[in-house]
Structure 1
Amino acid sequence: MSKERIIFCDFDGTITVNDNIVAIMKHFNPAGWEAIVEQILDKTISIRQGVGEMFALLPTSRKDEIVEYAINNAVIRDGFKEFVDYCKEQNIKLLITSGGIDFFIYPLLKPFAIPSEHIYCNASTFEGNAIEILWPNHCDEHCKTDCGMCKTSIIRSYDANQYERIIIGDSITDFEGAKLVDTIFARSHLIDMCKQLDYPYHSFETFFDIMKQLEAEPVV
């Protein structure tokens, strides 16, 4: 009996052309954010700590303009609408697994009618003086990297004996998940990481590329 296909798809830099968190930081440019990014990339601090510290640099008094900028600045990658439709037609479970934030992810995904229970991301509150990021999808007992939004925990919750697990991503937040799945669709930094460890992957620029490859590969 063939396995059920399930896709774990990143959001920032994958569904959207640009990384929305970086775009927000570049635009509002709070003092110190670039140093935090460097610490995340060289693994001096965890992703959860770094993302939390970056947003803590932004005052909640600017909430409306931050939310408006995040939503209006984002560009959806070509073929995503068709890809969502394709997954529905082929009975492929599509989960959005993102280290991004609810205040821009939910509005940007609303036109695509993806069930809210299939969207995993970080939450936020604007009740204090600075933006506070909340972490509803924390690491399980198998993950010690303090992800914030733990993609590997979500992947592990779907049995490899029952599911053909597929990841689509672009960055450091997708790399640990890529170690667990059957198929990797990669771009940008994730390609570099796959090459370093000699992991097989399919590169993509649009979601049309991904659909073409899925059609070419028989279900496991």
Structure 2
Amino acid sequence: MSDKVIICDFDGTITETDNIIAIMKKFAPPEWDALKEGVLSQNISIKEGVGKMFQLLPSSSKAQIVEYILNHAEIRSGFREFVQYTQDKNIPLYVVSGGIDFFVYPLLDGLVHEDQIYCNVANFSKENIEIEWPNNCDEYCTNECGCCKPSLIRQLTHEDQKKIVIGDSITDLQAAKLADFVIARDLLLEKCKELGLPHQSFTTFYDVMNILDQIEEESV
């Protein structure tokens, strides 16, 4: 068993931009913006906010949305090399995402095995898109996370493993609080500074590999 485990966010972390925000900007009516602000300010839960955002979109727009996001989403520089790095070092890597299966799986195809990916699921069988939540909060979490990162950390890791969380947003904050070390950018970076969580910032996954090497050297 490895002494480290990596829990990595997807939207805005593996990808350059947040895909849910990109979809809403392109396809949703203006009401989505208040829902986004509610989630970011923590006035409404992630589960409620994301669920209601997608309910603004008709299921009939599925093909357009999928085509748009697969053509516009960019994988952050160095990610392929980073995945190889974790394999070479035998460090378990889990992608734990508040994103949705219809874009997370295709964008990670050929990069990360599906059994290492945890995300939400879109149901297109009704008039409007409904999000399903296969990774709900366990009994220790009451945040209505949707895809509950703290619960998955408890499920996927062992006590004696050093937990490294990589992320960018408010949706990664509860996971960051459970981490031994956080590799952060954007809003999560601000929160790590504010709360005094052990962290370093990153721009590319080449930075992430350098930080992991530093952690390795310090633990020797």
Q: TM-score, with normalisation over the residues of structure 2? A: 0.95
* Aligned with 2:183 (options 185, 197, 210): 185
Q: How many residues align?
A: 217
Give the equivalent residue in structure 2 for 1:23. Answer: 22
Higher helix share: 2
Q: For structure 1, list consecutive stretches of 5 or more residues without a partner in the other structure.
A: none
Paired residues for 1:50-199 under 5 Å: 50-112=49-111, 114-157=112-155, 158-161=157-160, 163-199=161-197
The whole-number CA distance in structure 2 between the counterparts of 1:39 and 1:190 is 17
Can you give the 5+ residue segments of structure 2 that lack an aligned partner in the other structure?
Answer: none
Instruction: In structure 2, give the amino acid aligned to 1:202.
Output: Q
Q: Cα distance, 1:117 vs. partner?
A: 1.4
Q: CA deviation at 1:200?
A: 2.0
Q: State the Cα RMSD in Å.
A: 1.3
Moved over 6 A (4+): none
Shift of 1:156: 1.4
> What displacement does 1:216 show?
2.0
CA–CA separation in structure 1 for the residues paired with 2:119 and 2:74: 18
Identity across matched positions, percent: 51
After superposition, give the CA deviation of every residue in 1:145-174 in whole Å (9 maximum; x if it has no partner).
00000000011121222x111100000011
For 1:11 and 1:214, the matched residues in 2 are separated by: 18
2:28–2:56 Cα contact (<8 Å) kept: no
